[in-house]
Every structure is written in structure tokens, then in C-alpha cells.
Amino acid sequence: MSILNSGFQNLNCQGQLIDLSRPKIMAIVNLSPDSFYHSLDPNNSDAVLRYAEKLLGEGADILDFGAMSTSPGSGEIDVELEWRRLEKALHRVRKEFPDAIISVDTYRSFVAERALEAGANIINDISGGMFDPAIIELVAKVKAPYILMHNRAKALDMQKHTHYDNLILEVYDYFTEKIHLLSEKGMVDIVIDPGFGFSKTIDQNYSLLKNLEVFKTLNRPLMVGISRKSMLHKTTGGTPDEVLGVGTALHFNALLSGAHILRVHDVAEAVRCIRVFERYSKA
């Protein structure tokens, strides 16, 4: 029996459709010098363009640009600096690749608005509107797809907020309430992300991964972002550079549990993982 994803036809990116009947790959493009793994110089737009070309050539379906690190313990930067890091890169990539689907990883309405004006298609908000409620109004107005992540606090303090009486139930309830709120504002294309590493301990991350199937009943596309994260390298005793293999294994597990989008650093490996998953699913 096939276990390929079903129930979701597409995401509508202002007329461009992302078909979710097969898993998709979101490629991470870091423009922040303090990202935990692989950063690009935002002032070198040629290098950013070459990297985007590489990712798309390897099979990325979505490019996710982020200009401020949100790893646990990271501090905020000035909103104008965040936009400056993004601006030239977005304009260059959109001009060179007019059909590329571009996501911007930000929780600030100022940045999101300018990114959408520059040609971004999707807003990826780690706060679910908690840090800047105006971002919800903006995305609802332009009808852009919205990635809704579970989180409890900003990066500097998020690991102080890891107590749950029932982790899975509380994350599920969070999504239920947020989806209701967003739907009331007319938002249709909502992707849910459990927020691995955000206000979660390593054990809680694995519990989430083990129980991903619970979130199928929310009837929304599910994105999983575990690439190179500490839940992998702290478990293995290695570094982010050394966990591609185990990360790919867990990506396969996430696909088995119903993930529609894998958010990754390593596109070529994710493409191979999905090919094997599809063959396995049809056996």
C-alpha cells in the first residue's frame, strides 16, 4: 500500500502552485554570519546567486532566505540590518530565477512586507505572529503561504521555556488555536512546523519526531526542520559537519510519518532520500 502524502493538492504562491502530492525540499540560505551552520556573505550577491543556482540545480523546490540567526541563545539584530542583508540577495535571485519559489525566514512585519514586494512568495515565521502580530495581517492581506512554527520565546531565552505537562498535546493545541485564528483572517495556505530546537530539549525534539503522525489530523501540510541541529550532533558527540548521515535517516523517518516539506542544508542528499522513500512507499 502506498504511503505517499495525500490530501493536499498544492500551496498557492500568488498563482504559482507547489504540488504537495510528493514531498518537497526547502533549501536553507543563511545570510547571517552567526548562523550555526553554513553562512553566506550578504554583501557578496554573486556568491549568493551561485549558491542559489547550485541548490536549484540539485533539486530544491523552495529557497528559504534568513538574515538573522534564531538559534538558541542568539540575540536580535536591528530590523534595518536584517532587511539590508536580504535586499540585494532577494532582488538578484528573483531577477535571475523568475520562477523560483522563495521563502523568507522572518518574524518581523517590516522585513516580511519588503521581502514580498521584492518577489518573495512565502513567509516562514518562527513565532506564529507572537513577536510581531502585524505580520499576520500582512500575510493575510497578500494571501501568501505562511509557515506557522511552534515556539514559546525569542532565541535568547527560548531554552528557559521547555517545561510541558504534555508536550505533544500542548503543541497540538497551539496549532489548533493558531490555525483557527489564521483561518478567521482568510488565510488558507498554512504550513505547520513543530519547531525542533525551539523551546524544546533534545529529548523533547525526539518525542516530537516520534509522534509526528499525531499532527496529520490538523489537515495541514507539515514541514520538518532538523537539518544539522544539536539534537543530532549532541546525541552523536560530533559536530554539525558530521551528522549528514543520521540526519538523512531521520528525514526518511519524518517522511514515513507524513512530512510534506523537508527544510535542509543538503539538497542533493534530501533528493536521494525522497527518491528512496517513494520507491519504498510503492513497494
Q: How far apart are CA 137 and CA 134, in angstroms?
A: 5
pLDDT of residue 2: 40
Q: How far apart are CA 66 and CA 105, in angstroms?
A: 5
Q: In the chain, pLDDT over 70 holds for what percent of residues?
A: 97
pLDDT for residue 232 is more than 70:
yes
pLDDT of residue 74: 79
Q: In the chain, pLDDT over 90 holds for what percent of residues?
A: 87
pLDDT band at 69 (very low <50, low <70, confident <90, very high): confident
pLDDT for residue 233 is more than 50:
yes
Neighbours of 232 (CB within 10 A): 24
pLDDT band at 95 (very low <50, low <70, confident <90, very high): very high
pLDDT for residue 242 is more than 70:
yes
* 154-196 pLDDT tens trace: 888 888 999 999 999 999 999 999 999 999 999 999 999 999 9
pLDDT band at 1 (very low <50, low <70, confident <90, very high): very low
**Residues with catalytic function:** 229, 263
pLDDT of residue 10: 86
Question: pTM for the complete prediction?
Answer: 0.95
Q: Which residues make Cβ contacts (< 8 Å) with residue 60, sequence separation at least 6?
A: 25, 26, 27, 267
What does the chain come to in residues? 283
pLDDT for residue 8 is more than 70:
no
Q: Which residues pair with 17 in a beta bridge?
A: 12
* 186-200 pLDDT tens trace: 999 999 999 999 999
pLDDT of residue 7: 53
* β-strand pairing of 122-125 with 101-105: parallel
Q: Tell me the three cell numbers of residue 136.
A: 499576520
Q: Assess contact for 209 and 168: CB atoms under 8 A.
A: no
CATH top-level class of 10-282: alpha beta
The helix (run of H) or strand (run of E) holding residue 255 is helix 244-256
Rg of the chain in Å (alpha carbons): 17
pLDDT for residue 6 is more than 80:
no
* Secondary structure (3-state) at 27: strand
Q: Assess contact for 101 and 63: CB atoms under 8 A.
A: yes
Q: How far apart are CA 114 and CA 134, in angstroms?
A: 13
Q: Tell me the three cell numbers of residue 186.
A: 482568510
* 22-67 pLDDT tens trace: 999 999 999 998 877 788 999 999 999 999 999 999 999 999 999 9
In this prediction, residues 59-88 reach a mean pLDDT of 92
Which is nearest to 65 in space by CA: 46, 47, 40, 37?
A: 40
Domains of the chain, by residue range, sit at: 10-282
